Amino acid sequence: MRARLSRTVTFALMFAAFAVSEPIKTKHSLLELAAPLFVESDGISSTVSLINIVNRPLSATLAAFTPDGRQIGQTAIRVEPHSAVTRKLADLLKGWTSTATSGSLELTLDGSDIGMAGMLTIDGSAAGAAIHLEEDFTAGNSGVTSLRAAATGLAAPPTVALWNRAHTAESVSLRCISEQGSHVAHTISVPAGQMVLAGACDGAAAAAPQAALSEPSPATPQSAGIEVGLPDAPLSVYGFALRAAAPNPEAASLHFQSASQMRSSDSVFTGVPVDRSALLPGPTFQPELALANFGAEPAHVSVAFATAPRGEPSARAIKDVTVPAGAIRKVTLPALGGDSLHRNSFVLRSDAPAGTLITSLLSSAQDGSPGLMTIPGKDRLRDTNGGAGRWSVANGDSSTLVIFNPTESTQTMTVHVGALGVLWAKNYSLAPMETKSVAVSDLIANAEPDMHGTRIPSDSTEGQIAWFTPNHGEGVGRLLVTHSGSTHPLTYEFETSFVLCGAAVDPSSLSLDFESSAEAGPVYSQYCSSTSAQVCAGIPAGPGTAAYWWSSGNPSILTILGSSTEATALLYGAYPGQAALSCQVSTNQCVFTCPFQPDPRAKAEPAHHG
């Protein structure tokens, strides 16, 4: 047998693991988030939930104010990485020796600490009305000229809370459009530093939030489109209304959207209870839409329903609607036979200009029992690509994440679950128009491994959850947290931007023999919480997925076999020598390269074989 001379093909990755672009901290840069309305009185309680979606601790100061602008007290709150905390407002008020029954809350954090979200929940009952309000802490509306909302099933005119955080009085305009196309417009003045409650459709001041939350008036449930015209000042807005007819009215939130920031008038709804619900046992649910056209031309709307009975996705067109200019339409949907695990989604497409058609969905119990869910229409092309929430499986709670792909191609959504200092991360593939549900309790009970083999600690009972796609417009999600025996789930949809901000390859160097093959990678894509989908920097949040591209600097020496667009690449030593290998990781907005270079320490020595 002749001896054969073999040499080694060598290359190495010269790239620091997870070289992440982070924003430079600016001294004294503070971010102030506001929740205009809290209520704490007999039968009604408020709870603050804070969520940290990044891998370092974050701290914030929570302050409470009376309606006339006087500070009640403040407290510092620290949230550990990938975790969530709650604070009962009753406990805070007691510590501040305050007897306040309503007011506003402000959350202040370092402006460069992007990665904290907050929500205020108001629960209880008043005069027979069930109260389930969810109020996000927001950065205010400076620079936003108008906010719009749509609502149906109204048992009383909507109410708005307006908190003027400026040093001068500011004027706010309110406009209400009806099903008949009539308009009601009012202007009210909000004193400096104060919070006022006003009827969205009549401008009348409300004496107390308890009254607005518990006094149904229309004999027949109504629909309304609400527009709030804002000054160029730091003024925060929140709205709510009684839904469903007496004797079981329920107070629920309005969901305002900035018309100028919308990219389309197409809407997406996901996690909708349709027919029977395994998460909300008892009644049969029937969804109806509210379509408010604030434009000057009729809006033509097509409605598609996507469901996944027994896990098999299907989608079909179910309705075409024309909404006259300056009017709102209530659209009761036909019997659809949806999936009991809330794998039900709707996509509305419209020819209306972006920001002129505002939508919402109300799914209510058909037997007259308490139980309804209000869902805002999400702009299908919105800039944000992810969301977050606080999950719980304590005391009989259930937490289910419902994710949906509204596009015509397969998409990947990354899910992060934080618990007891552990981050669990997994990529889920979604077929076109597919809805999936992920029960946190199942992940724990089944000890399901993530992409790195990590498991959620078996004794976990609460934590943080986040979801995102590589690019905006590729997927939406909703977290539903249901308390034992409750017919009303707590819904989290904190919208946030996750951006590709770095990458790493493991192992970072590799050698292979002539005429042999080896696998390079995988490449790990690092994502950060960011102020914008256009900024490829922020605070690291964890791994995700992206588009990959491998290339050889000399294919005659080093050949890529098979796909060059996966997280790993199969390499073949085609000829003795040294060659450079490079990989590129990208989303639509962000690109990172991780070049392989020849390793000068490696030598291609001859090897003799008999």
- Where is average pLDDT lowest: 193-197, 297-301, 379-383? 379-383
Instruction: Residue 215: count other Cβ atoms within 10 Å of its Cβ.
Output: 16
* Mean pLDDT calculated for residue range 140-149: 83
Residues of the chain with CATH 2.60.40: 8-23+500-597
- DSSP-derived letter for residue 220 is S
Percentage of the chain exceeding pLDDT 90: 57
214 has a pLDDT exceeding 70: no
- Where is average pLDDT lowest: 9-13, 146-150, 439-443, 487-491? 9-13
> Predicted confidence band at 142 (pLDDT cuts at 50, 70, 90)?
low
Query: Which CATH number fits the domain 275-377, given the four candidates 2.60.290, 2.10.260, 4.10.240, 3.40.50?
Result: 2.60.290
pLDDT for the residue numbered 247: 65
The secondary structure element, H or E, covering residue 430 is strand 422-430
The secondary structure element, H or E, covering residue 511 is strand 509-513
> Predicted confidence band at 128 (pLDDT cuts at 50, 70, 90)?
confident
* Mean pLDDT calculated for residue range 44-55: 95
Taking Cα atoms as reference points, which of 111, 106, 18 lies closest to residue 58?
A: 111
* Between 511 and 352, the higher pLDDT residue: 352
> Predicted confidence band at 601 (pLDDT cuts at 50, 70, 90)?
very low
> Predicted confidence band at 609 (pLDDT cuts at 50, 70, 90)?
very low
* Mean pLDDT calculated for residue range 1-5: 25
Distance, in Å, from the CA atom of 495 to the CA atom of 376, rounded to the nearest integer, reads: 12
The CA angle 303-307-313, to the nearest 5 degrees, is: 120
483 has a pLDDT exceeding 90: no
Report the phi/psi class of residue 460: left, alpha or beta, with left for phi > 0 and alpha for psi in -120 to 50. beta
- Where is average pLDDT lowest: 13-17, 89-93, 579-583? 13-17
pLDDT for the residue numbered 48: 97
* Mean pLDDT calculated for residue range 336-351: 93
420 has a pLDDT exceeding 70: yes
- Where is average pLDDT lowest: 138-147, 479-488, 505-514? 505-514
Q: Which of 121-130, 507-516, 561-570 has the highest mean pLDDT?
A: 561-570
- Report helix, strand and coil shares of the chain as percent, to nearest 5: 5, 55, 45
78 has a pLDDT exceeding 90: yes
> Predicted confidence band at 185 (pLDDT cuts at 50, 70, 90)?
confident
Q: Is 606 exposed, middle or buried, given 0-12, 13-18 or 19+ CB atoms closer than 10 A?
A: exposed
Distance, in Å, from the CA atom of 151 to the CA atom of 290, rounded to the nearest integer, reads: 6
> Predicted confidence band at 173 (pLDDT cuts at 50, 70, 90)?
very high
> Predicted confidence band at 40 (pLDDT cuts at 50, 70, 90)?
very high
608 has a pLDDT exceeding 70: no
Chain centre distance of CA 84? 15
- CA diameter of the chain: 101
pLDDT for the residue numbered 245: 59
425 has a pLDDT exceeding 60: yes
Q: Is 277 exposed, middle or buried, given 0-12, 13-18 or 19+ CB atoms closer than 10 A?
A: buried
pTM of the model: 0.90
* Mean pLDDT calculated for residue range 376-398: 91
* Between 445 and 249, the higher pLDDT residue: 445
The distance in angstroms from the start CA to the end CA of the chain is: 7
The β-bridge partners of 402 are 437, 478
For the chain, give the mean pLDDT: 86
What is the CATH number that goes with domain 26-261?
A: 2.60.290.11
* Between 600 and 521, the higher pLDDT residue: 521
Taking Cα atoms as reference points, which of 279, 278, 321 lies closest to residue 299?
A: 321
pLDDT for the residue numbered 607: 30
* Between 454 and 218, the higher pLDDT residue: 454
Residues of the chain with CATH 2.60.290.11: 26-261
Residues 6+ apart with CB under 8 A from 266: 347, 348, 349, 350, 379, 380, 381
Q: Which tens digits make up the pLDDT trace of 260-288?
A: 889 999 999 999 999 888 887 767 888 99
- DSSP-derived letter for residue 394 is G
* 8-23+500-597 carries CATH number 2.60.40: yes
* Mean pLDDT calculated for residue range 156-180: 90
> Predicted confidence band at 99 (pLDDT cuts at 50, 70, 90)?
very high
Tokens read off for 288: 């109806």
pLDDT for the residue numbered 445: 96
* Between 221 and 373, the higher pLDDT residue: 373
Instruction: Residue 29: count other Cβ atoms within 10 Å of its Cβ.
Output: 12
